[in-house]
Structure 1
């Protein structure tokens, strides 16, 4: 119940990574429902929430998704769009978006009939946990029900389908507009660096290896920061300062990775075309730290951290810095960017772990950009299977 009204909630995740993500209100699915034991539900009883992020690309995609849904609803003859400012519908969706979820912000007003709203879910995993608690209602609520018509793969009678192939935002960003920084240390020069050279280094326009020692055979650059067993904050902030200096070519984008990260740079450059380098952007796989206690989100370093030049400049000029050289660099960056009001942008195509650590069904529906760690696997074989494109995959 939301403000005394019976509402069915359909969450439409729009993380913005893929123009191939397909979400549809299917007329076939509606006809299929008529054959069930339950009565058909009119769209006036449905709240549709499009999940988006604080970024101009995601905002555009959210509006596009909204218009697609409204068009389908109009074809069903169940919606008559009215001006955006509809207090009654706004009250209903605001209740949903804010109930016990203070980190969620409602940013547009839904339309009459089809309560279509946009909520910025900065911590999307945490959000689902909170929604489950809201429905569960300390054991007094209904059980969660699996619905076959909510599909992960297209098939007959799907109300929704989902893929995360790469978006088509135009030609890929030039390889000469992306600077790649690989963090390494002496003990991994002979073990991990050769894997990078055998796999994805060839796709980089500008790439440097940063180590605790100078090794001309690779070559590596010492930034004057001693190696640390845990956390590499001092090294990462030295990379950020170097990126803004005249010591390296000037590019719009910076990618920072570990020496055991496997990357697809062509896919990354295609994804980056969707983002505006004039905005402060930090992109990758988003994690959260103490979110229920006014914590912050951050891009996990193992999957790769992508930053626009604008974001790096804002961070360095802010004076926000490491509290120790061995502090976790990705978390410190997340704390700093959060304090600066820069959104942490999530993409499910970056991965902190190995392919074996994920559902095969999940990653088979993706065009992954990265994986992390070499434990108990052949990293070159993993790269060839999951990241190397002989023939680019078309969007669905």
Structure 2
């Protein structure tokens, strides 16, 4: 795998489940000034209480730099902590163990308001404190204080997990199709690929 990685021009790699909705434009914004030659992971930051291992939510998705993936692939062959195919347990915890053993850092992914960009649940549950009270690991494992309700999520959120097939279309509609009367769409040019797209001009967001 390492020779193939060196031949390909990709800078970053995203791991997500098939029921994870990802807003690629916001992921591009997060990575715009990141150096893929630095070994790092970014995602929803969790920590195991028993051994203080930092790792990232697998379901919520995480992104790794090119250098991070190269080190992890090499570590599978050379580091006992990486374990190869013989290790059982949760994928995201195992990646965290391996990443630590090969010098891959977990970087901060909160926005400028201290809000999370990667989410281990769908929007309905993230906005429902009563629902998440029945899921204690969410609070016990969160590296930062777990927040639900209206302050749960960054306006530049990147991913939501456990999204049903129907809700995939619902989210897509609200993000890219629906318009609000009185807000004029404005044309902008994407900084990443030069494609001109129509977006609506949002009102300024403020956080108290």
- TM-score, normalised relative to structure 1: 0.34
Instruction: Indicate yes or no: 2:88 matched with 1:356.
Output: no
Instruction: Indicate yes or no: 2:153 matched with 1:391.
Output: no
Q: 1 CA distance for matches of 2:88 and 2:173?
A: 33
Runs of 4 or more consecutive aligned structure 1 residues displaced over 6 Å after TM superposition = none
Instruction: Tell me by how many angstroms 1:380 deviates.
Output: 1.0
Q: 2 CA distance for matches of 1:376 and 1:305?
A: 21
Aligned to 2:67: 310
Instruction: Tell me by how many angstroms 1:297 deviates.
Output: 1.2
- List per-residue Cα deviations over 1:129-186 (Å, max 9, x = no partner): xxxxxxxxxxxxxxxxxxxxxxxxxxxxxxxxxxxxxxxxxxxxxxxxxxxxxxxxxx
Instruction: Tell me by how many angstroms 1:294 deviates.
Output: 2.7
Q: 2 CA distance for matches of 1:250 and 1:370?
A: 24
SS in structure 2 at match of 1:330: helix
- Label 1:317 to 1:262 Cα distance change in 2 as closer, same or farther (>3 A): same
Aligned to 1:345: 107
Q: 2 CA distance for matches of 1:387 and 1:371?
A: 16
SS in structure 2 at match of 1:390: strand
Residues 44 and 119, structure 2, Cα contact 8 Å, conserved in 1: yes
SS in structure 1 at match of 2:95: helix
SS in structure 2 at match of 1:271: helix
Number of residue pairs aligned between Structure 1 and Structure 2 = 153
Where do residues 46-57 of structure 1 align in structure 2 (5 Å cutoff)? none
Instruction: Indicate yes or no: 2:98 matched with 1:336.
Output: yes
SS in structure 2 at match of 1:303: coil
Structure 2: which 5+ runs fail to align?
110-115, 128-148, 178-197
RMSD, aligned CA: 3.1
Residues 370 and 387, structure 1, Cα contact 8 Å, conserved in 2: no
Instruction: Report 1 or 2 for greater relative contact order, CA contacts < 8 Å, sequence distance ≥ 6.
Output: 2
1:380 to 166, 169, 174: 169
Instruction: Tell me by how many angstroms 1:274 deviates.
Output: 2.9
Over alpha carbons, which structure has the higher Rg?
A: 1
Aligned to 1:221: none
Q: 2 CA distance for matches of 1:275 and 1:391?
A: 27
2:21 to 254, 259, 262: 262
Instruction: Tell me by how many angstroms 1:302 deviates.
Output: 1.1
- Label 1:296 to 1:269 Cα distance change in 2 as closer, same or farther (>3 A): same
Aligned to 2:34: 275
Aligned to 1:296: 53
Instruction: Tell me by how many angstroms 1:366 deviates.
Output: 1.9
SS in structure 2 at match of 1:278: coil
- Label 1:392 to 1:338 Cα distance change in 2 as closer, same or farther (>3 A): farther
Q: 2 CA distance for matches of 1:324 and 1:371?
A: 30
